[in-house]
Structure 1
Amino acid sequence: MSIASKVCKAASLMCAAVLAGALMVGLTACSANDEKAIKDGINTELGAFKNPTKESLETYVNQVSSADFKQIEAYGIDIYEFLGHCFSKFDYSIGKVSVNGNTATAEISLTNVDVQTAMKDTMTEFEALGQEELARIYTEGGEKALMAKYFEAFYSKLDATSETVSSDLTIKLTKTDNVWNIDNDSLNALVSAAYGGANFSNMM
């Protein structure tokens, strides 16, 4: 694997891990009205990403404990800076919620920049530096220097992008012990849509 590919893979893993980790948090059905509980829970979690500050996201970031995420932290990348750039243009709306016993569906529309395209464009620019230059950066500052170089360019791409992508999806939920949880397939689709339709598995 080339140096550039290794950095891009690490970035892809971080994108997928952070939002998935947050959305795996159950939506507590504290209301007798399950429909309201689901809407309130989704609003709380997606609303935190619509307003991507440390204060709004710290609760969710602290719950991400995967080895991939810890590795990214070791590279010296500020996770809140990362999320701030990725979700600066993020928006969402919740449509109809239908409850049938301990299962439910929720219609959600999400809008964001195409994070995967920005990542690929950054990868192209990064590779264009050439292995010799990348090796020089690595020799002088190690993997942290390479990551810093990549993310500086990546953030610039995201900030300069004005075009957004909208995705409409219906997510499935299941209630266990009075907590609504998003089904795995729906979670994967939601993460992809939140990043503008990204499919990070194609980049790993």
Structure 2
Amino acid sequence: MIDGSAKRFGMPMGPLRLLDEVGIDVSTHAGSSLYQALGERLKPAPALVDLGNTGRLGKKGGRGFYLYEESRERQIDDTIYVELPSVPAPDSNRPSSISGEEGQGQILRRLVLAMINEAARTLEEGIVISAAEVDLAMIMGTGFPPFRGGLLRFADTIHPRGIVDRLEMLVEKHGPRFTPAPALTRLASEDLTFYSAFPPSGS
């Protein structure tokens, strides 16, 4: 459902398939490095830590979230849940809080809002100068769907006020890793969009 939600939004693949493509060993190492460099907001999820201890390598090893045969995806590997103690195995007899269209919406909010929040930090810290640079990097580097206009163009359709409101709801439910970036709260309070506050250089 996670990968399906991302693909319906327009991403070329979902985050779990992407972990398989990159390599689970590489992904867990990268997650640990980001945590050491940037602190609690990028603390690896317990499931990612568990995943690093399974011995699964993803596509290159033939097994990850999916099973592969001659480097081609064959099917989802449901046995992975047995190896992830922090993740409850799917149970058809137990009602899920994440199902249907509302469930897909919850998944997308958690995926996309986190990206928008980090993008706001890159602008705030001067890593990039304009919203357009972020969008170009996201489209060319991550496959963010071009028809959405780019990550921050999409964010502007919701408006920073709406982004902050949604992030604060996630903070209440899931903890401080969703705390809105200072740049984002400033845009919301000043009624600015990303593209008005961070225009292309020379404009």
When normalised by structure 2's length, the TM-score is 0.25
Q: Which has the higher contact order (CA 8 A, sep 6+)?
A: 1
The TM-score with structure 1 as length reference comes to 0.25
